[in-house]
Amino acid sequence: MKNRSFIFIISLLIIGVNANAQSEKPKNILLICIDDLRPELASFGAEHIHSPNIDQLAKKGRPFLNHFVNAPSCGPSRYTLLTGTYGPARNDALFQRATLITKAHTNQRPTMPEWFKKHGYTTVSVGKVSHHPGGLGGADWNDEQVIEIPNAWHRNLMPVGPWQHPRGAMHGLANGSIRSKEKGTMDVYEARADKGDTYPDDLIIEQALIELETLTTTSDNPFFLAVGIIKPHLPFGSPKKYLDLYEDSVFPENPYPNKPQGKSTWHPSGEMMQYNLWEKDVFNDTDFALELRKYYAACVSYADAQVGRILKKLKETGANKNTIVVLWGDHGWNLGEHGIWGKHNLFDVALKSPLIIYTPTMEQPGKKATGIVETLDIFPTLCDLTGLPKAEFSQGSSLIAMLENPLQSGHAAVSYLQNAQSIRVPRYRLIAHDNEYMELYDYESDEKEKRNIANEHPEKIAELKLLLRAKINQVR
């Protein structure tokens, strides 16, 4: 009898320990990166956009309405996300290509995925997460000797199907159509009605679903799964049913239709000019501009549908109960604002992108945070949410307080291009060009980014310049 009681007590203890271990199982991370996605989503206030799946995530999580990227280009922006730093050269030559991740990498400064890998996570990348889809360099971005982020991923996957290689998929249209190097040979947009058509993201998501199944059934390790969706990056191609959503939609007026006067980070939209525009003048033909905006919106809805597929699968596996979900756009995109069709500039429209963070224990779900935050904040936030030690070298600030209370204030955000750096605070943006030319915009004035007011506010310039330098120079 005595023995039986003893066994009973021991059993209870074991069950208790197991239950405790279960509840303390580290949380998984699902990071969804979307290429060239403006924060024009219904849940971010753009009601003409059809984005039901992302909106659903926003409703359950915390949408950050004032998230700014640190660089308005794919590679550098992803560099800051994945390393948690502004870049190895802080003062003058901040502009970094993603391939420099390799050069900057040291054992003392692991990248975010490597940090999680070192702490027991299985890390997997599918699609466009670092600069090239699949994370490799070489002529067609499939050279396994040229790894963009060494030691980061257990598996780094990019299915290419009929597009032959990651470079083909990156700029692909339906069914294996690849952009040639000859300018103007690929249409800038496409919407096909054939049911059997496939686009590169279809394959990326199919691979991601397989990975979710594998990660949740074959191992007890927590996972860090990053999935990179290519649309709405140029060319604007998606199945026609997504374009049909916008047939009768009314799009808001362009608040900045003109090229800025004076020096700025304006550029002549070279990336767009690579495509066939049927000799139309995108800067002056308002009908064509509206068409382009609709095809871009169609790609957003198509990308949104891919997000829906991933989240549905996450729920089916049951892992949704223990998985943090981050949805991140790598930068915004000017659809004609400031006379630009593209990114690569330091106006708000190129720097603001969607950020949503969801945790299974979310407080005040769906409440929008309006404080300013930046991409660098994601790494320390994920360390806090998973209980991992914080990487001492990461330069961002944890958003844990804003996740608990959306009314918490944010902090200044720094962004940079090759020859200019910028800082955004709630009321102003300062853009400091390397030759000391300054732009200053006041978002509480009616003009906002219509007029550079730098000459009128030397004291504000001095104050923001100091703040910019202090933020960039911080070394941990």
| Interface ranges with Ca ion (CB under 5 A) | 35-36, 74, 330
Least CB distance to Ca ion at residue 271 (A): 10
**H or E, element range at 137:** strand 136-137
Least CB distance to Ca ion at residue 182 (A): 23
Looking at the Cβ atoms of 125 and 398, the one nearer to Ca ion is 125
Identify whether the C-beta of residue 174 lies closer than 8 Å to the C-beta of residue 161: no
Looking at the Cβ atoms of 350 and 438, the one nearer to Ca ion is 350
Least CB distance to Ca ion at residue 277 (A): 20
Report the distance separating Cα 17 and Cα 108, nearest Å: 35
For the record, the structure tokens of 397 come out as: 């600030």
- Biggest CA pair distance of the chain: 92
Report the distance separating Cα 41 and Cα 48, nearest Å: 8
Number of C-beta neighbours around residue 432 at 10 A? 22
**H or E, element range at 446:** none
Identify whether the C-beta of residue 460 lies closer than 8 Å to the C-beta of residue 442: no
Least CB distance to Ca ion at residue 418 (A): 16
Looking at the Cβ atoms of 28 and 375, the one nearer to Ca ion is 375
Helices (H) and strands (E) in the chain, counts: 13, 19
- Tell me which residues are annotated as active site: 74, 131
Looking at the Cβ atoms of 127 and 222, the one nearer to Ca ion is 127
| Distances 288 to 50, 218, 258, 267, 293 between C-alpha atoms, Å | 21, 51, 16, 20, 9
- Nearest CA to 68 among 38, 96, 29? 38
- Nearest CA to 82 among 151, 15, 177, 142? 151
Q: Which amino acid belongs to residue 462? A: A
Report the distance separating Cα 80 and Cα 339, nearest Å: 27
Least CB distance to Ca ion at residue 100 (A): 17
Q: 16: number of CA atoms within 13 Å, CB side?
A: 6
Question: Nearest 5°: phi and psi at 290?
Answer: -65, -40
DSSP letter string over 359-383? -TT-SSTTPPB-S-EEGGGHHHHHH
Least CB distance to Ca ion at residue 344 (A): 10
Looking at the Cβ atoms of 131 and 471, the one nearer to Ca ion is 131
For the record, the structure tokens of 205 come out as: 């998501």
Least CB distance to Ca ion at residue 54 (A): 17
Looking at the Cβ atoms of 135 and 371, the one nearer to Ca ion is 135
Looking at the Cβ atoms of 148 and 439, the one nearer to Ca ion is 148
Identify whether the C-beta of residue 64 lies closer than 8 Å to the C-beta of residue 375: no
Which residue in the shown chain puts its C-beta closest to Ca ion?
74
DSSP three-state, residue 236: strand
Report the distance separating Cα 56 and Cα 136, nearest Å: 33
Looking at the Cβ atoms of 37 and 461, the one nearer to Ca ion is 37
Q: Beta 122-127 vs 223-229: how paired, if at all? A: parallel
Least CB distance to Ca ion at residue 76 (A): 10
Residue that has been written with the tokens 């993603």 in this structure? 98
